Amino acid sequence: MKKTTITPQHQAFLDELVALWPLAKGSLAQVRKPCIRPNCAACRSGRKHPAWLFSFSQGGKRRCRYVPLELVPTLREALGNGQQLERRLVELGAELLQRYRQERP
């Protein structure tokens, strides 16, 4: 196994990564769903009940999970941080290519 030396560049990236916690990739959507109560006025009127769903890919398949209302703000933050991380990874890839071109004879 190759041993990696932690350079100042590596440490700077790790520090950025730690600052971005929590992280998530996917999407969050509010939907309206019927409940199980037989005489629910909201369901009978068609309004139904609000619920939050987190959608993500896992093993090449699309998955959805119910999100408790109190977790919605944290998940929103995690999704924003995940987008920020993706942008940073694109920047790092471009920087890597640029460095390669500059160092090449």
12-66 residue pLDDT tens: 888 988 999 999 999 999 999 999 998 999 888 989 999 999 999 999 999 999 9
Report pTM.
0.80
Region 66-77: mean pLDDT is 97
Sign of torsion, CA 42 48 50 51? positive
**Confidence bin at 1 (pLDDT 50/70/90):** low
Burial of 68 (0-12, 13-18, 19+ CB in 10 A): exposed
Domain coordinates in residue numbering, the chain: 24-103
Q: What is the DSSP letter of 59?
A: T
Neighbours of 38 (CB within 10 A): 7
Q: Which pLDDT does position 6 carry in this prediction?
A: 82
Q: CB neighbours (10 Å) of residue 39?
A: 6
